[in-house]
Amino acid sequence: MYYYILESPDSRGVRQTYQRLRDILTNLGIAGEMVASSPARTPEELAAMGLEKSYSTIVAVGGDHFINQIARSVVGRAVLGIVPINASRQVTDLIGATSIRDAAESLRQRRLTQTSIAVAEPDVVIFLDAVIEVPKLAKASLVVDGKMRAFAYFNRLIITRGLEIKLESSHSVEQKKIFGLFGTGGKVIKSESFFHGRSVRVVTDPELPLMVAGEPIAKTPLQFKLIPDALKVITRRGTLT
């Protein structure tokens, strides 16, 4: 049996989608308990309740931030199932399902993929991409595996669950006059830098929030570590035998 945690619905359309999901699960013969988050019951609290009831699979039904919250709660304790509702392509690509019917079918087949996670110490789990984004260039200082040091300016910094770090920058070069008559420059310069390690320290100037799906989860400076194969996820194809 599965333990389904539904994101608090924000529209009539989402409530109707939840009802369709119930019908699909019934038709597929997938049993389980279904609960919904609310201001009185957070996703983390509901996940803890499911674990206390000894459910071995907890299914997050909702969008990116909600799915990340549930993933954080079940790492190392249960299998994660996902039914994406208004979720990003990152989620649908991971599980190999774009519709609730396909996601439900994946739950029925129960094929597992083992994934790594990144942890912002002491205990902030990163399952979906975390982002630091600023309109003006900010400075980042990175220490990778306690050895390599790097400095870069960025507008966008992305951290994946595999502890891959991508820094993107974009800035314009002002047009310069030549002899007061002609101009040169005036173009946008873009650059990208990539880093990967088992532990990475990130310091930014100024201090900035780390976001998942537009919601802050931590703030720099941050120390990250990679935990390989930490979470089992139900996916369309699966990789575990």
Structure confidence by residue, pLDDT tens digits, 131-176: 999 999 999 999 999 999 999 999 999 999 999 999 999 876 665 5
Is there a domain that residue 115 lies in?
A: no
Whether residue 89 sits in one domain with residue 188: no
- Residues 94 and 176 both lie in one domain: no
Give a yes or no: residue 233 inside a domain.
Answer: no
Chain length of the chain: 241
Do 35 and 90 share a structural domain? yes
Query: What does the pLDDT read at residue 210?
Result: 97
Nearest to 59 by CA among 6, 115, 114: 6
103 in a domain, yes or no? Answer: yes
Instruction: Please say which residue of 109, 142, 169 terminates a domain.
Output: 109
Region 27-39 average pLDDT: 93
| Cβ contacts of 29-35, under 8 Å, gap ≥ 24 | 29/108, 30/2, 30/104, 30/107, 30/108, 31/1, 31/2, 32/1, 32/2, 32/3, 32/4, 32/59, 33/1, 33/2, 33/3, 33/4, 34/4, 34/6, 35/3, 35/4, 35/5, 35/6
**pLDDT confidence of residue 190:** 84
Clarify whether residues 71 and 148 are in a common domain: no
Of 79, 109, 139, the residue that ends a domain is 109
Predicted TM-score (pTM) of the model is 0.88
CATH number at residue 66: 3.40.50.10330
Strands 176-178 and 182-184: antiparallel
Does 97 share its domain with 140?
A: no
Q: How many domains does the chain have?
A: 2
Based on the fold, state whether residues 150 and 214 are members of the same structural domain: yes
Give domain status of residue 239, yes or no. no
102 located within any domain = yes
pLDDT attached to residue 184: 55
Q: pLDDT > 70: what percent of the chain? A: 93
Check whether residue 31 and residue 104 sit in a common domain. Answer: yes
- Band of pLDDT at residue 187, cut at 50, 70 and 90: confident
Domain final residue pick, 109, 140, 160:
109
Three-class secondary structure assignment of the chain:
CEEEEECCCCCHHHHHHHHHHHHHHHHHCCCEEEEECECCECHHHHHHHHHHCCCCEEEEEECHHHHHHHHHHHCCCCEEEEEECCCCHHHHHHHCCCCHHHHHHHHHHCEEEEEEEEEECCCEEECCCEEEEEEEEEEEEEEECCCEEEEEEEEEEEECCCCEEEEEEEEECCCEEECCCEEECCCEEEEEEEEECCEEEEEEECCCEEEECCEEEEECCEEEEEEEEEEEEEECCCCCC
Together in a domain, 191 and 135: yes
- pLDDT value at position 164? 96
**Domain membership of residue 196 as a residue range:** 130-227
Instruction: Read off the pLDDT of each residue in 17-28 and give the average, rounded to a whole number.
Output: 95
Do 104 and 8 share a structural domain? yes
